[in-house]
Amino acid sequence: MSRPILFRRIAQVEFDSAADWYDKEQSGLGTEFIHEVRRVLGLIASQPDRYPIVEDGIREAILQRFPYAVYFQVNPLQIDILSVFHTSRDPSTWRSRQ
């Protein structure tokens, strides 16, 4: 059963900012980033348990091609996206969002 995806505001800002940055680096690359995140979100919505728990019920889905991970929590009615996070950043940033 697929659950709806809900982005926390900061996660949406991270996602939008990364897509904008990639598009400024190379035309169309931001769109490719968006497609990859959406692909992973589809997998998360349909099979959230396929991703490992990395801390206190928070799961991590690593993107292909881009150095990003999606951190999320599974709730009974929805999946909360906590962060669309560049993997070179300090992980304490997303960990504070529980």
Domains of the chain: 5-95 (3.30.2310.20)
Consecutive 10-residue runs of the chain (98 residues): their mean pLDDT?
Answer: 90 96 96 97 95 94 96 95 88 62
pLDDT at 51: 98
What does the alpha-carbon distance between residue 79 and residue 98 come to, in Å, rounded to a whole number?
13
Q: Are 69 and 60 in contact (CB under 8 A)?
A: yes
Tell the burial category of 69 from Cβ atoms under 10 Å away from its Cβ (0-12, 13-18, 19+).
buried
What does the pLDDT read at residue 47? Answer: 94
Please tell me the predicted confidence (pLDDT) of residue 96. 62
